[in-house]
Amino acid sequence: MTDTIFGFSGTVTQGALSQQYTSWLTSEVASMSENLAYDAFKDGMAVTEAIALRSAIQAGTFTLSNLFTAAQSKTGAVTDVAGKPDPLMTVTYTVDGVEKSYTIHLAEFMSGEARSTWKDSGKNGQFHTREYLTDVNHDLPSDYNEHWDDLNQAPTAQNYDFGNLQETDANADGSHQAGDFTVSIDLDTLVSDDKPISELSFSVGTLPDGVTFDQNTHQIIVDQNSAAFDFLKKGETKTYKIEYTVTDKEGLSAKAEVSFTVVGTADKYHDTQTFSFEKTDGSAQGSGFTHTFFLHEGFDYSGLVNVSGDGDLNQKNESVKFTVDGSGWTYQGTENGNDGQLDTLTHYAHDFGLSSVQLSDGKVIVTGDFSSPVANGSTANVTLDYDYWM
């Protein structure tokens, strides 16, 4: 048969078909370098490699193979050749000094089928049928991005986790340990781009208390000594996540996050409790009292109890006696006589130091007692001040 598809006219022979078809398809795919390179880029090829692939196609450094499906018959042309043509294009190119090859299935970019048949010479010659694709689609895909080969690709950003950070112990007055207890991460070390770091800008999301961002050094800084973490009790944890964004001059950006977990330690706390009493013979307790202070749950207590007041305590037989967890103290007048009046008020005060052992039972028992000659209206004020850890 004759065929003019490829500019060849005449009796088709095996050699003529192969030569003409290969020449035609070589010319067609060389003009499709943009389409083929973009398709490889969409399939995940790096932009620099896809550019090298395009250049190689334009330069003709490729080979074509598997161009036909074939069938033989002794009776005539075969009309149902098995299989579909799957012409292959193998491109050889170099990236960063390394030679690579990439195979493209051209059937994805072609359509139309034709068959050519020839017969061997001689009485018993066989009929040879070849089936092949005839049309090449040069149209760029609908999602084509004309900037796909712009080497200014978006920057990349990595997540970073500080891991567990232990908060420092806080004192009861709110002060913290002296020294620098900060840790930091330089965001410059977490990003990559084809432009210098100096041309990138950084921004961060909402920062929790105790965390700062230095716009000049691009460092996220966590202060383990910050009072912001004092709410964590010993062994408690809280995880924080901070999103950051890196943007290049063309507005391309990437996001990632920095995270850390604060582990609580024991902090020192202070508590004050008070109790007051006035001597009245008609009261239920009359001349004295017993009062129990209950402590906050904690450990390693230390503190003191202060007793003070004003009373009729000028005579030798006028006194007030206190005991605090078994420790005693008495204030007694020094003058002779007993007027039983509040005309002369005497102020008294005393501190009881309390050890951790005394406070370990979680309570402090205070008793106070005025001797009977002391006039009504005499007062006793008890204040418990203590520190504890939790």
Cα separation, 385 vs 324, whole angstroms? 13
- Predicted local distance difference test score (pLDDT) of residue 293: 96
- Predicted local distance difference test score (pLDDT) of residue 3: 40
pLDDT in tens, 21-52: 899 999 999 999 999 999 999 998 988 999 99
The residues, ordered by sequence, that sit 6+ positions from 356 with a Cβ below 8 Å of its Cβ are: 300, 301, 302
Question: What's the mean per-residue pLDDT of the chain?
Answer: 87
Please list the alpha-helical segments (H only) found in 7-87: 14-30, 33-42, 47-59
pLDDT in tens, 213-224: 999 999 999 999
Query: What number is the average pLDDT over the span 345-353?
Result: 94
DSSP-assigned letter for residue 296: P
pLDDT in tens, 66-125: 998 878 777 777 777 777 889 999 999 999 999 999 999 999 999 998 887 777 776 777
Do residues 100 and 44 touch, judged by C-beta distance below 8 A? no
Q: Which phi and psi (to 5°) does residue 380 adopt? A: -135, 130
The residues, ordered by sequence, that sit 6+ positions from 287 with a Cβ below 8 Å of its Cβ are: 279, 281, 369, 370, 371, 372, 374
Cα separation, 117 vs 132, whole angstroms? 12
pLDDT in tens, 133-179: 989 999 999 989 888 887 777 889 999 999 999 998 877 777 777 87
CA–chain centroid gap for 252, Å, is 21
15-29, 232-246, 324-338 — most confident range: 232-246
Provide the pLDDT confidence category of residue 354 given band limits of 50, 70 and 90. very high
Structure tokens at 284: 């239920």
- Predicted local distance difference test score (pLDDT) of residue 63: 96
Query: What number is the average pLDDT over the span 318-343?
Result: 84
pLDDT in tens, 275-293: 999 998 755 456 899 999 9
Domains of the chain: 14-136 (no CATH), 156-263 (2.60.40.10), 268-389 (2.60.120)
Query: What number is the average pLDDT over the span 256-276?
Result: 93
